[in-house]
Structure formats: C-alpha cells, structure tokens
C-alpha cells in the first residue's frame, strides 16, 4: 500500500515537472530567445547595464519555474517594475556623485538593497495568504488589464522600428523600413500558418530560425539583438555567472536619510510585481483550464527577488507575453520554465555571438502575435451589452494601464467596481409595510443591510407616528456588517425611547448575539423563530479570527 502511494506521488511530481518533455524543451528555447531583447530593453529603461537585466531574468525564471504557483508560467525582468526603479536609481547615482568618497553605481546598489526588501514583503504576502485576494478582481478589470497590457506590449515594439543615426534614434525609412516590415510580416505568417499544418513544433521558434537564416545567409543589413544592445550603449551579451554582491550589506550604513525613498519604492515594486504575477497566473489558469496557487507564487516571487538582490540581478515578476508564448507553444510543465532560464544563461555565457545575430524583426513579429492573442477582442462585441459601469471600468483600466502602470490600473479598477457595487446594493433595500389585525405595524425588509444602505434603511421608518407595536421582519434581508447592526440598534432605541414596543424577527444567531452584547435589554426586542436564517456577520467572523 505504501509503495503504491509513493509511486503515485512520484508520478504526480514528475507530471507536474513535465508531461511532454519535447514540447517543454522546445517552448522553453522559444521563450529564452524572446527573453533576451526584453530583458535588455527593460534594463535600458531602468538605466542599468544589460547584463543586470539578463541575470535578473535568469534568476527570476529558474526560482519561479521550480517553486512557483503554477507550471508553465514565465518570470523575468519586466517593464512594469523597470519604470518604478528608474527614479530611485537616478537619485542614488546623484547622491553618489556628491559623496566625499564617490561610490560608482550607487543607484544600482540601492536597487539591490531594495530588492531584498521587495522579496521580504512578497514572501510575507504569501505567508499571510494574501494571494487569494486576486480572485476578488472583477472580470471587467481583468479584461481591461489584458487589453491595456496588450497595448503596452504593442507600443513597446514600436521603439524597435528606430535606428541609430549620428547618435540619435530615428524612425527607419525607405528600404530599411520595408525590409523590417516584410520580415515582421513573414514571422507572423509562419506563426499563423504553421499550427494549421502541425503542432508538433513551436511555431514561434520556427519563425525565429527561418527569419534569422534569411537575414544571415541572404546578407541583409537589418537591426539585430547585437546592434540593439550597442545602440542602447551596451557592449554585448558576453558575461560570467552572477556573483554575490558583498558590498550590498556594507551599503546599509551609507544610505542615511534615503531610507524613506528605498522603503516606499520597495512597497511599490512589491505591489506591482505581485499584482502582475497574480493576474498572469489567473490568465494562464483560464488558458490551461487548471488552477495555480497564488500564495505559493507570492513566496516564489519574493525568494527570486531576494536572490536578485544578493547576486546582482534586476529583479522582476511574471511576464504575461512570455507566459502566453510558452503555453501556446505547448510548455505546460515546470521543465519549460527551467529550460527557458537555463538557456538564457547559456546564451549569455556561450552563445552570445549567435544570439546577437537574431534579427529584431523576428522578435517583434513574435510579440505582435502575442498582442493579437492577448487582446480580448470580444470586448468590442460586448461593450454595448454589459452594464455601463462595467464598460467604464474596462475602458478605464485599459487606459490607466497604458498611461500609468498596472498596479494603479488594477487598484483603481477594483475600487471603482467596489463603489459601483456598494451603490447598487445601497439602493436595493426596501421596506414593505402592512398592518396586522392587532394594529401591529410590520416592516418587511428586503435587500442587504450594510454601511452603504443604512441611510435608506433609516428613512423607511417613522417612529413618532407609528403605532405602539412595531415588528421589523428580516426574512428577506441580510445584515452584512457592523454598520448594519448599529443601524438596527439605533432604530430600536428610537422606538423604545418613545415607550413603544418593537420586535426584530428572523435574525441570524450572530445578529442576535451582537445586538445583546451592546445592551441586554435587546433580549425583549428579539423574537426567536424556527425559520431564522443562518449566516455570519462580517464583524462577528473577524472578531472570532483575531
């Protein structure tokens, strides 16, 4: 029996690592090729050396592939975090220039220290099981996020249609532009047509290889990964293994008055990283019809960022574009992420000359196909059929994602959705009135009683003009929070102060307990019934968990 259990566990672990080794390996190689220019580009955005971005992508990828919340998801250096890092790095370098004993790349050392804090915050989020709250994100926010991110990915590729002219980046013209467009179109055509013939090999990898062969053997003068790095001020991909950054710990005493900037940046980076990672996890869950662990992903992301801080990487989070490439290329196991990370490191160590010859056009074509696959085209069809509030949230989240960043967009979308939900429910509360034969006035409450609806609830009653006996029936209402309990206490006191009798009927046991805690006299107000509802009040649950 024990042998059978052990064998079953072994099979489960192996299948989780890889169900199809060939697909995982090929898709991992495809992702690795796409990771190179992305990591380099985001390093330039942050104002740091390309190798720091590549090391960051490797360490994020290997840790999250092995220990992350779901197989098949790819992590690396991302633009969402790069745009947050750039200000802190710039300030750090300015401080370094004014120190009595100048420290080169002081801003970079600040980044590594910040990543240690980012990792700690993200691990705590996983330990306290905060990853589950991503499930509370409304569908309209998810669609807005996906659309906004697709637009961001598209706009990021447009910068690759520029070339270095006398030290400045200008738009390509003439034959250079036509060649670039033709190669992009060819890449997209291969990725669109090949799956119709066979799905045994990743179409993205085939497209990259074919386009690269055409440019190399055809002698075409096009922008490549190598020229892209040089145009950004770098010297090439060749580097060694990541090394331990011993100076990071010695920097703690030199930061001085700049801790507020570092701590605030750490919280923003942690939030951006977790939101993008958990949203990506949710999206991959839908694509694969499986379910990952948000809390486990939080811990893995945090551990990877700490490793980046210790070994000189840029840090990062989950990457939606590369994750979609991986999944759609057949990479469903953890092996695909491991292959992508290890292949990326091998490229840097041994295959830099070959990778530098890959035309940028091929990688742009791959990313354009990712944009097409990422954008929720159905949103155009349903935009006039869904509630206006949801349509507004969808458009707002998309716009904020493009013009600001993902974290602000998602938080704004959730807040707007929550306010709309609260407002709608606040107006739903009703009170049907009727008189019994004994001249008792009955208020039959319908709808949720919570902080948003207490004003409407209070307006339903007329204590001064009501008869001496009043009954308030909650059989079709649910008291949702402490504000609702307080509103009930207030109404009861108004009737009691006038010397009138009031009865609450069909209350849950939790509501009764909370009412009597405030004043034992409410025992005469509450009427028990065999058909009392059973549900929990939020306040009561929180009190029991503290």
Q: What is the per-residue pLDDT across 222-241, written as a single tens digit (0 to 9) for each?
A: 888 888 777 766 667 777 78
pLDDT value for 445: 92
Return the percentage of the chain with pLDDT > 90, whole number.
31
- Decide: 294 and 347 in contact? Cβ < 8 Å: no
Pick the closest to residue 126 from 308, 304, 322 (CA basis).
304
- Give the whole-angstrom CA distance, residue 151 versus residue 500: 64
- Give the whole-angstrom CA distance, residue 310 versus residue 64: 17
pLDDT at 529 over 70: no
Which residues are within 8 A (CB) of 303 and not within 5 positions of it... i.e. 6 or more apart?
63, 67, 119, 123
CA–CA–CA angle 65, 410, 541 (5° rounding)? 90
pLDDT value for 15: 54
- Give the whole-angstrom CA distance, residue 36 versus residue 38: 5
- Residue-wise pLDDT tens digits, 115-168: 999 999 999 999 999 887 777 788 888 888 888 878 887 887 888 888 877 777
The better pLDDT of the pair 183, 99 is held by 183
Mean pLDDT for 313-326 is: 90
Mean pLDDT for 6-32 is: 74
Pick the closest to residue 354 from 213, 233, 234, 203 (CA basis).
213
pLDDT at 11 over 60: no
Strands 441-449 and 469-479 turn out to be parallel
- Residue-wise pLDDT tens digits, 93-124: 777 666 554 455 677 888 999 999 999 999 99
Mean pLDDT for 476-487 is: 87
Helix (H, G, I), strand (E, B) or coil at 253: helix
Which residues are within 8 A (CB) of 286 and not within 5 positions of it... i.e. 6 or more apart?
none
Domain boundaries, the chain: 20-399, 427-545
- Give the whole-angstrom CA distance, residue 145 versus residue 280: 10
- Decide: 34 and 225 in contact? Cβ < 8 Å: no
Helix (H, G, I), strand (E, B) or coil at 367: helix
Residue 257: which pLDDT band, with cuts at 50, 70 and 90? confident
- Residue-wise pLDDT tens digits, 427-469: 888 999 999 999 999 999 998 898 889 999 999 999 999 999 9
User: Helices then strands (H, E): number in the chain?
Assistant: 23, 9
Concatenated DSSP letters of 174-237:
HHHHHHHHHHHHHHHHHHHHHHHH-SSS-HHHHHHHHHHHHHHHTT----BHHHHHHHTT---S
Per CATH, domain 427-545 is 3.30.750.24: yes
- Decide: 375 and 144 in contact? Cβ < 8 Å: no
pTM of the full structure = 0.72
Question: Which is it for the CA torsion 324, 326, 332, 334, positive or negative?
Answer: negative
- Mean pLDDT taken over the chain: 84
pLDDT at 532 over 60: no
């Amino acid at each position: 029996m024990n042998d059978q259990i052990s064998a079953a566990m072994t099979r489960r672990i192996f299948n989780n690592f890889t169900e199809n080794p060939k697909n995982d390996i090929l898709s991992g190689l495809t992702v690795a090729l796409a990771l190179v220019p992305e990591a380099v580009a985001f390093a330039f955005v942050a104002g740091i050396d390309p190798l720091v971005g590549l090391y960051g992508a490797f360490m994020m990828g290997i840790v999250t592939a092995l220990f992350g919340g779901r197989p098949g998801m790819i992590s690396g250096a991302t633009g969402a975090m790069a745009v947050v890092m750039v200000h802190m790095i710039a300030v750090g370098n300015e401080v370094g220039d004014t120190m009595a004993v100048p420290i080169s790349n002081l801003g970079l050392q600040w980044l590594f220290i910040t990543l240690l804090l980012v990792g700690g915050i993200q691990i705590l989020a996983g330990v306290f099981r905060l990853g589950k709250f991503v499930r509370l994100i409304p569908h309209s926010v998810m669609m807005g996020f996906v659309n906004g991110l697709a637009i961001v990915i598209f706009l990021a590729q447009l910068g690759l249609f520029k070339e270095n002219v006398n030290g400045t980046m200008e738009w390509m013209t003439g034959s250079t532009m036509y060649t670039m467009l033709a190669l992009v179109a060819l890449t997209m055509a291969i990725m669109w047509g090949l799956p119709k013939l066979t799905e045994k090999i990743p179409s993205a990898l085939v497209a990259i290889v074919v386009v690269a062969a055409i440019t190399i053997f055809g002698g075409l003068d096009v922008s490549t990964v190598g020229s892209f790095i040089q145009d950004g001020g770098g010297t090439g991909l060749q580097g060694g293994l990541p090394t331990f950054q011993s100076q990071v710990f010695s920097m703690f005493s030199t930061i001085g008055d700049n801790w507020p900037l570092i701590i605030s940046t750490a919280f923003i980076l942690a939030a951006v990283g977790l939101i993008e990672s958990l949203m990506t996890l949710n999206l991959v869950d839908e694509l694969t019809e499986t379910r990952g662990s948000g809390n486990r992903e939080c811990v893995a992301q945090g551990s990877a960022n700490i490793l980046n801080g210790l070994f000189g990487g840029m840090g990062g989070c989950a990457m939606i574009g590369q994750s979609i490439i991986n999944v759609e290329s057949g990479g469903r196991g953890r092996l695909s992420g491991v292959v992508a990370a290890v292949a990326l490191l091998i490229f840097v160590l041994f295959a830099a000359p070959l990778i530098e010859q890959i035309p940028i056009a091929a990688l742009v074509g791959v990313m354009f196909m990712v944009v097409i696959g990422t954008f929720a085209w159905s949103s155009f069809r349903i935009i006039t059929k869904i509630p206006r509030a949801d349509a507004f949230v969808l458009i707002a989240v998309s716009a904020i994602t493009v013009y600001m960043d993902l974290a602000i967009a998602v938080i704004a979308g959730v807040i707007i959705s929550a306010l709309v939900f609260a407002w709608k429910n606040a107006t739903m509360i009703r009170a049907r009135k009727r008189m019994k034969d004994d001249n008792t006035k009955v208020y039959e409450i319908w709808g949720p009683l919570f902080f948003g609806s207490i004003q409407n609830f209070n307006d339903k009653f007329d204590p001064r003009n009501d008869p001496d006996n009043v009954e308030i029936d909650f059989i079709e209402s649910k008291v949702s929070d402490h504000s609702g309990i307080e509103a009930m206490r207030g109404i009861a006191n108004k009737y009691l102060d006038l010397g009138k009798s009031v009865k609450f009927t069909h209350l849950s046991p939790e509501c009764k307990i909370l009412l009597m805690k405030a004043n034992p006299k409410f025992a005469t107000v509450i009427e028990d019934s065999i058909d009392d509802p059973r549900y929990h009040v939020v306040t009561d649950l929180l009190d029991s968990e503290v």
